[in-house]
Structure formats: structure tokens, C-alpha cells
Chains A and B, each alone.
Chain A
């Protein structure tokens, strides 16, 4: 250390690696907390359609989601960290999905797995298919595919772990559940005469605002 440079309040990664080489391990509460959280993301045991078959395959020996700490599929939303919306969400099922999401304790995360959960997929114009679960609950990772391969689900899990490791405990980067004014309860839609009421939660999702070119 030279006398000229003022000591930085934060330790750099290079300095930390140097300390680790000497057998000194430095960490912060935040890092430890996120390291623990990101390596034991417990999904809810909840499948909706054919994507659920891929989710099951990902949990079995060949793809082995246990390598990433997510093998504990919980049968109760109260013990789960991750909701994998795996398959077509019908309008009749959507209130139950939102209800499950509301029953999960924070911190919680959501995957929209497959074309149907993302946008309604091939059934988008249908009379009983929700055009994407992100209308009612905030989705962290979208997994495209019809259905996605188990590797895609594993990739989404790794991406989620990265996201969790990047979250801070306090300040502006804090996750939703640590912000005092954030909503923790999402309104469950009601069955209307032709559609769900309301058809979307405007706090979570708004339709795309596009302006067409003249003559197009």
C-alpha cells in the first residue's frame, strides 16, 4: 500500500482473492445470505400441462436438478420459493395460480415455462386460455419452448441464481419484499360473464403500446 492513494472503503475482488490466497475469507452478510438462498431454491410441486413433464424429467436422474439445489419440490406453497408455471393456464385455472402465488412466502420467484405460460402460445386466440401468466403475477424468468427442454429449465434456474446473488438487502436494489411500500398480495381475478375480471393486473402488466405506420 502506498501512502498516496487514500484507502478505499470497499474491498475489490482482486484484493479479496489475494486475501483468500493467504487463508483469510472475507464476506458480507448480504453475500452469505444470497449465497445460501441461491443454492436452495425450492420449487412448488405444481404442473399444468406438457411442460410439467419436462419439469419432472429435469428433476429425475438424467438431468438431475439436485445438482443445483432445487430437488426439493414442495407440495405446499407455504414451503416453496419458486413457482414454475409449467403449461397452459386456462382462464378457469388462473385464479388458483394467483392464489398459490399469494400463499408463497417471500422471497419468491416465478418462471413462466413454455409458450403457453408466456403468452398463451398456440392457444392465444382461444376462448379459455390466459394470454400469459404475467398478466397477474410478476414473472422473473421466461423459458421459451414448446415445451422447453429440461436443459432450458436448468439454464433458467442458473439465471435465477445469478439474479438472486445480485440482489442487495437494502437500498434501491433491494427485492420487492424488502421494500416497505411494495404490494405483497396480488388481486385474485374473478370469473366474469365472458372473461376474467379484471383481465389483467395493470400494476404488473400493460398491453404493448404500438403505433402503426401509415398504410401498414
Chain B
């Protein structure tokens, strides 16, 4: 199978305006992925499915990732030559930049016909709050239907062009998306013998010590 870089180059050649980049995975799995722009994702997906060298006819898995706002620290080095002929002086400048969070949807594609894969696609929303739309790839791979519903349910990504976008695991009247990192669960702790730090803090809150007055709500 072609490497992700080769696939990216062919995508760029086929769709000149489409953003496509390789997101490398530094871990031992080394499963590098292809980051696509939202506008062209549907067309690129059809290309990947129909291309005779790839024929990625099976989408095995769709999942979501929630990326919170991050502060990035970039270090730049400036070296100024010493007019006296000594070693150049190096000054380091650190700039902090706030990267807005986003929701990411990851597709794992295989080719049953050519017995290769996976090719990993990533799509990112503009932010986590009001602009969470992405194109649905269910018209390209039918197996995405339930899994995109799951990502919609648990992460809140709205898939444009999905034939039946409803919650799938939680009930319809449920508010919020429980797999988001800032999801606040209902405060319904009860005693259990689990000495985790988090659980102990909850236990202290819900079961006050004798003589310490009333329970906090």
C-alpha cells in the first residue's frame, strides 16, 4: 500500500484546493493519519474509495476525540554575531499562543478487495462550541451510519448529510455530550470502599464527619 505521504500527494494533485496533511504518530504503532479539510472531505473520501490503487471500500471504525484549548509555547533562537569576533550570542524568545480546542473525527479505512489498510482519516471541527459541523461520510461508506450517530451522541459533532442523525446510546432528551472532557456528571455519589483520591474527595463531601455539622448539598 502507498504511504500516507504518497496518498496525500495524489489527493493534492487530484484536488488542488483541498487541504490535506499527514499527521504523524510518533508512537511505536507509527500509524500516520491524513488530515482533511471539511469542505472537500466528501469528495476526497469518494476518491479514496474508487481509486484503483487504493479501493478503500470498508470503513471499520469511526471515533471522536475531544481536544481542549491548549497553550502552545514556541521557542525561537536568534543568534547575533559578536562584532568583537567572539562566539555569537544566542537569545531565546518564548512566545505563548492559545490554540483553540476542536473536535476531531477519526475514520479507519481498509480495502477488502486489495487486502490492505488501514488508512486513517481525520476531520476537525472549527471549534468545540458553536461550529461543530462536519460532512457525513455515511453516503460513501454505509458502515459509518451508527458510528457517526455515536460520535454525534457522545461528542456533539453534527454530521451534515447524515440520513438519520439521532442519539444512539443516550436517550433523546439527554443534554450534553458525556464523552467530552468538560462533561460534568450529575453529583450522585454514594459510599463505596474505593480509596481513590477523587472518590475519597467525593466521600468527604457527601458523608460529613461526625460533629462537623450538616451535609453540604
Name A's B-contacting residues (CB within 8 A): 91-92, 119, 124-125, 127-128, 131, 191-195, 199, 207-208, 210-216
Please tell me if the beta carbons of A213 and B174 are within 8 angstroms of each other in the complex. Answer: no
CB of A194 to closest CB in B, whole Å: 5
- Known contacts A128-B169, A131-B190, A195-B188; is-contact A214 B209 (Cβ 8 Å): yes
B178 proximal to A (CB < 8 A): yes
Q: What are 13 A-to-B residue pairs whose CB atoms are below 8 Å?
A: A119-B192, A128-B170, A131-B188, A191-B171, A191-B173, A192-B173, A195-B188, A199-B188, A207-B191, A211-B207, A211-B208, A211-B209, A215-B209
Chain B residues whose CB sits within 8 angstroms of the CB of A199 once the complex forms: 186, 188
- Report the minimum CB–CB distance from A127 to chain B (whole Å): 4
Q: Does B185 contact A (CB under 8 A)?
A: yes
Instruction: List B residues at the A interface (Cβ < 8 Å).
Output: 169-176, 178, 183, 185-186, 188, 190-192, 203-204, 207-212
On whether the beta carbons of B208 and A212 are closer than 8 Å, the reply is: yes
Measured CA separation A207–B190 after assembly (Å): 7
Q: Which 7 A-B pairs have the closest CB atoms?
A: A127-B178, A191-B171, A193-B175, A212-B209, A194-B186, A195-B186, A211-B210
Do A124 and B169 form a contact, CB below 8 Å, given A211-B207, A212-B203, A212-B207?
Answer: no
Chain A nearest CB, measured from B156 CB (Å):
14
Q: B166 CB to closest chain A CB, in angstroms?
A: 13
CB of B68 to closest CB in A, whole Å: 18
Specify which of A125, A127, A191, A210 is in contact with B207 (CB 8 Å cutoff): A210
A124 vs B194: C-alpha distance when bound (angstroms): 11
Q: Given the complex of chains A and B, what is the CA–CA distance between A204 and B169 in angstroms?
A: 27
List B contacts of A212 (CB < 8 A): 203-204, 207-210
* Distance in angstroms between the alpha carbons of A199 and B192 in the assembled complex: 18
Chain A residues, Cβ within 8 Å of B192? 119, 124
| Chain A: minimal CB distance from B214 (Å) | 12
| Contacts A207-B190, A212-B203, A212-B204 given; does A193 touch B174 at CB 8 Å | yes
CA distance A211 to B203 in the complex (A): 10
Q: Which residues of A contact B176 (CB under 8 A)?
A: 194
